[in-house]
Chains A and B, each alone.
Chain A
Amino acid sequence: MNLHHNKTFAIGGVHPEDQKLSAGVPIAPLPLPKTVTIPILQHIGAPAKIVVQRGDAVKTGQIIATHEGFVSSNIHSSVSGRIGIIEEVMDSSGFKHTAISIRVKGDDWEESIDRSETLVEEIKLTPKEIVARIMEAGVVGMGGAAFPSHVKLSVPEGKHVEYLLINGVECEPYLTADHRLMLEKPKEIIVGIKILMKALGVEKAIIGIEDNKSDAVELFQEVLKNEKGITVEALEVHYPQGGEKQLIQALLNREVPSGGLPADVGAIVHNVGTTFAIYEAVQKNKPLIDRVVTVTGKSVKQPSNFLVRIGTPVIDLLIAAGGVPEDTGKIVSGGPMMGKAIADLDVPIAKGTSGILLIPKEESMRAEVYNCVHCGKCIEACPMGLEPYRLLILSKKGNHERAKEEHILDCIECGSCAFVCPSNRPILDYIRLGKTQVRKLKKV
């Protein structure tokens, strides 16, 4: 028994049921799909510019769309085959974006990619070359937000980064992709951390892992025994600890100022999945063309963790996990707290897709809404210390000026307020609406 209290963040937070059904299931490569559909916008920023045409033959790992501007990301073919239709398809957020479909033929990789399993420890590239390679490989944040990693590594002038924080928290219920990756690729992740430390010129790195994954904590403690500068910290299970700001508060007891960046308090945060992708990009010259995806849900026959090529349709994963259960009412891309419900099964897996969650019918509909009873539970739960009930009222009334004064833009959309609301009020729905309106105010 652990008698001392593990660290966690200070303000708000909730404790949804863990439901890590697939935690014990090793990562298995998913069989190649017949077709992949690769959207050119899988990241935050500008869509990539397509550099292939219908009918072109492509190899696995070949670039098919290049970044447009700095805040954007390269897109590579995740399979070998022939380019099919390039048209708009619906992504997991329900928006239509241009996507490149590729009919799969064989699995013929670019020769420059090292496909062996051997661990490459020596980091030959210079910091500048590392960032360039990560940009080239199209690596984005794999925890969900999909922010281009090379942008995060380009610290603004005048900011001093002291700590690299590695996010192994995986605070969303059900998801186990990061957990499995930490158990199966600890050494690669550590090389990835060293690469990031070199690129950023920092001496200290901390891996934060919630204590429901004590096997991963112990494994990293063991592997890091003789390493200098890298430590692992077990954190109390507490949603949304995987939020960048919450993780910084939990590990460093520092608060990112409102509207500021982690670098303002000397920290940069990267997810373990991203760190692994960075290892592959820098040491193996492998672009981001696949990722670990958890397929899970209370009624799923075989909750699984698959290594999936980007662009694979969701249906392929569901079939591999034992089919779609009869009682499925909702399919979520991501976790239950922040994931997006998808409308059909052809939605492709993107760089930011960490899981596919099947929710039974009886849990898919929102429950009856009551009047606000002023219980204050949303305020207690908000990890940003906001007053969600008030933001709902202000957004509903269209009083966006006041909503801005009440710091609506600080909301990280973790959903804790709506999760705890005993009246089932659509708090986050209105906050999202309000945020959009407040951003419009800014532009005028």
Chain B
Amino acid sequence: MSTGLLTVSPSPHVHTELTVPQIMRGVVFAMMPAFAFSIYNFGLGAVYVTFLAIIFCIAIEYGIAKFLLHKPASIYDGSAIITGMLLAFNVPSNLPWYLIFIGSAVSIGIGKMSFGGLGNNPFNPALVGRVFLLLSFPVQMTSWPTAGPTWSLDAVTSATPLGILKDGMRGGEPMEKLMGEMPSYSDFFFGLQGGSLGEMSAFALLLGLIYMLYRKIVTWHIPVSMIATVAIMTGIFWLIDPSKYANPLFHVLTGGVMLGAVFMATDYVTSPFTHRGMLIFGFGIGVLTVLIRLFGSYPEGVSFAILIMNAFVPMINRFVKQPRYGEVKSMQ
């Protein structure tokens, strides 16, 4: 017979299996198809950039926790790995190591730890780092190696489909000619296009999304509302003037829409709590993305759109509520 002391604690006495480290592992697993495609497309460059970013992010988080905050290092929850991977997914595969370091330092140091670490950051850390790099080092951040199986670190560079479109439209070239220069839609879907490391293949990203939905790590609300908004809004413009605006399929499959919808906008910490809030958030990102793409000076706007909507999250959380039980007929 047991004579040990009994544990006494308030209910509940059971807990679901899904804990923070498991969720983080699940997200990393969900990024694997996209990572595999990036290796197929960019060869060793993708591996080099991704691993450097992960190592820098973990080291910087550990260093800040231990030497600046004097707190136990929080690296075991796995969130630094995700930040590193997402940062890598958002940069070209030929980025020099010191820029990866700067990006990681900004992501983790300013984007995350300066607010108190996991759970306290208002902005998506990987995007903070990415946008910092984009604004500070625009040349290196926009020279993308050409996609296609290669194992050389010195790949030929080319513009992204969105870049071709933006520059072409500025130069007054007709839409049909520009679209004729693009890879096919199936190339877009499977990832044979120029661009950042992890944003290439809609197919691989969707595999990750399906996995995260199956594991109940994320819900459909943000990805669906964001992608649908981009499709509908660009569709309206395309119907108005197809010679001036690209079609919705092009807009959904190119650039960072898929990566943003699946992995960036769904970041728990920087997205709303409620399903209703998530729908508004996804809608806002979609609208801003399209506005920047069609009318802004940058060819791509997903990063900016997500960061701007991140700023609205506290307000959405404050005012957008789920239906409550028994609220309809108030007892007064």
Within 8 A of A (CB), among B97-128: 116-120
Pick the residue among B7, B19, B119 that contacts A371 (CB under 8 A): B119
Contact B328–A255 (Cβ < 8 Å) = yes
Contacts of A367 in B (CB 8 A): 15, 19
Contacts of A341 in B (CB 8 A): 6-11, 13
Interface segment among B129-137, B227-235, B268-276: the answer is B268-276
Contacts of A186 in B (CB 8 A): none
State in angstroms the CA–CA spacing of A312 and B258 once bound together: 63
B266-301 contact mask (Cβ, 8 Å, vs A): 1 or 0:
001111111100100000000000000000000000
Within 8 A of B (CB), among A367-384: 367, 370-376, 379-380, 383-384
**A62 within 8 Å of B (CB atoms):** no
Majority DSSP secondary structure for residues of B touching A: loop
Within 8 A of A (CB), among B5-23: 6-16, 18-20, 22-23
**B323 within 8 Å of A (CB atoms):** yes
A258 and B1 in contact, given A341-B8, A372-B119, A424-B19 (Cβ under 8 angstroms): no
Contact B16–A376 (Cβ < 8 Å) = no
A325 and B326 in contact, given A16-B14, A336-B13, A373-B119 (Cβ under 8 angstroms): no
Contacts of A428 in B (CB 8 A): 10-12
Contact A375–B9 (Cβ < 8 Å) = no
**A204 within 8 Å of B (CB atoms):** no
Contact B2–A264 (Cβ < 8 Å) = no
Pick the residue among A329, A336, A374 that contacts B273 (CB under 8 A): A374
Q: Which residue of chain A has its CB nearest to the CB of B79?
A: A373
A423 and B20 in contact, given A341-B6, A341-B8, A385-B322 (Cβ under 8 angstroms): yes
Contact B329–A325 (Cβ < 8 Å) = no
State in angstroms the CA–CA spacing of A332 and B11 once bound together: 9
Contacts of B268 in A (CB 8 A): 373-376
Q: Which residue of chain A has its CB nearest to the CB of B23?
A: A422
A337 and B14 in contact, given A257-B331, A370-B119, A376-B268 (Cβ under 8 angstroms): yes
Contacts of B11 in A (CB 8 A): 332, 334, 336-341, 413, 415, 428
Q: What is the minimal beta-carbon distance from B23 to any residue of chain A, in angstroms?
A: 5
Q: Which residue of chain B has its CB nearest to the CB of A432?
A: B10
Contacts of B329 in A (CB 8 A): 255, 257
Contacts of B9 in A (CB 8 A): 330, 341, 364, 366
Contacts of A384 in B (CB 8 A): 324-326
Contacts of A327 in B (CB 8 A): 2
A113-153 contact mask (Cβ, 8 Å, vs B): 1 or 0:
00000000000000000000000000000000000000000
Q: What is the minimal beta-carbon distance from A335 to any residue of chain B, in angstroms?
A: 8
**A387 within 8 Å of B (CB atoms):** yes
Contacts of A375 in B (CB 8 A): 23, 268
**B152 within 8 Å of A (CB atoms):** no
For B, the interface residue count at a CB cutoff of 8 angstroms equals: 46
**B154 within 8 Å of A (CB atoms):** no
Pick the residue among A363, A371, A376, A386 that contacts B272 (CB under 8 A): A376
Contacts of B22 in A (CB 8 A): 422
**B77 within 8 Å of A (CB atoms):** yes
Q: What is the minimal beta-carbon distance from A8 to any residue of chain B, in angstroms?
A: 14
Q: What is the minimal beta-carbon distance from B215 to any residue of chain A, in angstroms?
A: 12
Q: What is the minimal beta-carbon distance from A240 to any residue of chain B, in angstroms?
A: 10
For A, the interface residue count at a CB cutoff of 8 angstroms equals: 72
Pick the residue among B7, B118, B323, B325 that contacts A330 (CB under 8 A): B7
Q: What is the minimal beta-carbon distance from B79 to any residue of chain A, in angstroms?
A: 8
Within 8 A of B (CB), among A272-331: 323-331
**B327 within 8 Å of A (CB atoms):** yes
Pick the residue among A342, A385, A415 that contacts B12 (CB under 8 A): A415
Name the residue among A258, A336, A407, A420 with the largest chain B CB count within 10 angstroms: A258
State in angstroms the CA–CA spacing of A363 and B322 once bound together: 33
Q: Which residue of chain B has its CB nearest to the CB of A359?
A: B13
State in angstroms the CA–CA spacing of A323 and B1 once bound together: 7
Contact A259–B325 (Cβ < 8 Å) = no
**A25 within 8 Å of B (CB atoms):** no
Name the residue among A375, A383, A413, A421 with the largest chain B CB count within 10 angstroms: A375
Contact A422–B6 (Cβ < 8 Å) = no
State in angstroms the CA–CA spacing of A336 and B13 once bound together: 5
Q: Which residue of chain A has its CB nearest to the CB of B269?
A: A374
Contact A259–B15 (Cβ < 8 Å) = no
Name the residue among B270, B271, B274, B329 with the largest chain A CB count within 10 angstroms: B329
State in angstroms the CA–CA spacing of A255 and B329 once bound together: 9
Contact A342–B326 (Cβ < 8 Å) = no
Contacts of A331 in B (CB 8 A): 6
Contacts of A323 in B (CB 8 A): 1
Contacts of A379 in B (CB 8 A): 273-274, 322
Q: What is the minimal beta-carbon distance from B279 to any residue of chain A, in angstroms?
A: 13
Contacts of B324 in A (CB 8 A): 11, 258, 384-386, 407, 410
Name the residue among B12, B19, B219, B275 with the largest chain A CB count within 10 angstroms: B12
Pick the residue among A257, A332, A418 that contacts B326 (CB under 8 A): A257
Contacts of A386 in B (CB 8 A): 324
Q: What is the minimal beta-carbon distance from A259 to any residue of chain B, in angstroms?
A: 5
Q: Can you list 30 contacts pairing A with B, beta carbon distance less than 8 Å?
A: A256-B326, A257-B329, A257-B330, A257-B331, A329-B6, A330-B8, A331-B6, A336-B12, A337-B11, A337-B12, A341-B6, A341-B7, A341-B10, A341-B11, A372-B119, A373-B20, A373-B23, A375-B23, A376-B268, A376-B272, A379-B274, A385-B321, A385-B325, A387-B273, A387-B322, A420-B16, A422-B19, A422-B22, A428-B11, A432-B10
Interface set of B (CB-CB < 8 Å, partner A): 1-2, 4, 6-16, 18-20, 22-23, 77, 116-120, 219, 268-275, 278, 321-331
The 5 tightest CB contacts between A and B, nearest first, are A371-B119, A415-B12, A385-B324, A376-B273, A364-B7
